[in-house]
Amino acid sequence: MDAVSTSESKVVVAEQKNLSSSASAQDLRLFEMEHEKHDDSSPRGVIEACIKNQENVSSSLKAKPSGSQFCLSNPRMSSRWHKFFKMWKRNSIKRLPSFPPLAVPKISRRKSRSVRENVPAGFRDFKSSWKNFSLSDLKNATNNFSEENLIGKGGYAEVYKGCLPDGQLVAVKRLNKGTAGEQEQNFLCEIGIIAHVDHPNTARMVGYGVEGGTYLVLQLSSQGSLGSFLRGSRDKLDWATRYKIIFGISNGLLYLHENCQRRIIHRDIKADNILLTEDFVPQICDFGLAKWLPKEWTHHNVCKFEGTFGYFAPEYFMHGIVDEKTDVFSFGVLLLEIITGRQALDDSQQSLVLWAKPLLDKHDEKGLIDPVLGDKYNPKEMERVITTAGLCVEQNPLMRPRMNQAIVLLTTDDDSYNQKFLRRRTYSEELMDASEYNSTKCLNDLKLLKLRHSVSDDNIKTLAA
7-17 b/e (C-beta count within 10 Å ≥ 16 → b): bebbbebeebb
What distance in Å separates the CA atoms of residue 325 and residue 321, rounded to the nearest whole number?
10
Read off φ and ψ for residue 160, nearest 5 degrees.
-120, 140
Q: Is 171 in the site for ligand ATP (CB under 6 A)?
A: yes
Among 19, 141, 203, 403, binds ligand ATP (CB under 6 A): 203
The reply on whether position 286 binds ligand ATP by CB under 6 A is yes
Which segments of 145-277 are extended strands (E)?
150-153, 157-163, 169-175, 205-209, 215-219, 263-265, 274-276
Query: Which residue's CB is nearer to ligand ATP, number 172 or number 246?
Result: 172
Q: Is 295 annotated as a binding residue?
A: no
Does 268 engage in binding with ligand ATP (CB under 6 A)? Answer: yes
Choose the binding region for ligand ATP from 122-130, 218-226, 316-324, 335-343 (rule: CB under 6 A). 218-226
| 324 contacts ligand ATP (rule: CB under 6 A) | no
| DSSP string over 272-341 | GGEEE-TT--EEE---TT-EEE-TT-S-EE-SEEEEETTS--HHHHHH-EESHHHHHHHHHHHHHHHHH-
Specify the residue, 184 or 286, whose C-beta has the smaller distance to ligand ATP. Answer: 286
**Does residue 221 belong to the site contacting ligand ATP (CB under 6 A)?**
yes
Q: Which residues pair with 397 in a beta bridge?
A: none
The β-bridge relationship of strands 131-132 and 150-153 is unpaired
Using rule CB under 6 A, residue 155 touches ligand ATP? yes
Which member of 50, 159, 256, 369 binds ligand ATP (CB under 6 A)?
159
Window 10-49: contact mask with ligand ATP (x via CB under 6 A): x---------------------------------------
Phi-psi region of 310 (alpha: psi -120 to 50; beta: other; left: phi over 0): left
Q: At what angle do helices 324-340 and 379-392 cross, to 10 degrees?
A: 140
Single out the segment in contact with ligand ATP by CB under 6 A; choices: 78-86, 125-133, 152-160, 331-339: 152-160
Distance of CA 208 to the CA centre of its chain: 19
Beta bridge partners of 175: 157
151 forms part of the interface with ligand ATP (CB under 6 A)? yes
- What minimum distance in Å lies between the beta carbon of 365 and ligand ATP? 30
User: Smaller CB distance to ligand ATP: residue 286 or 394?
Assistant: 286
Based on the residue annotation, tell me whether 268 is a catalytic residue of this protein.
yes
Is residue 80 within the footprint of ligand ATP (CB under 6 A)? no
Interatomic CA distance for residues 393 and 307, integer angstroms: 17
Marked catalytic residue, from 39, 137, 268, 323: 268
Beta bridge partners, 304, equal: 15
Residues within the annotated binding site for ATP? 173
* Catalytic (active-site) positions: 268
The residues of the shown chain that bind ligand ATP, judged by CB under 6 A, are 5, 7, 10, 151-152, 154-157, 159, 171, 173, 203, 218, 220-221, 224-225, 227, 268, 272-273, 275, 285-286, 288
Residues within the annotated binding site? 173
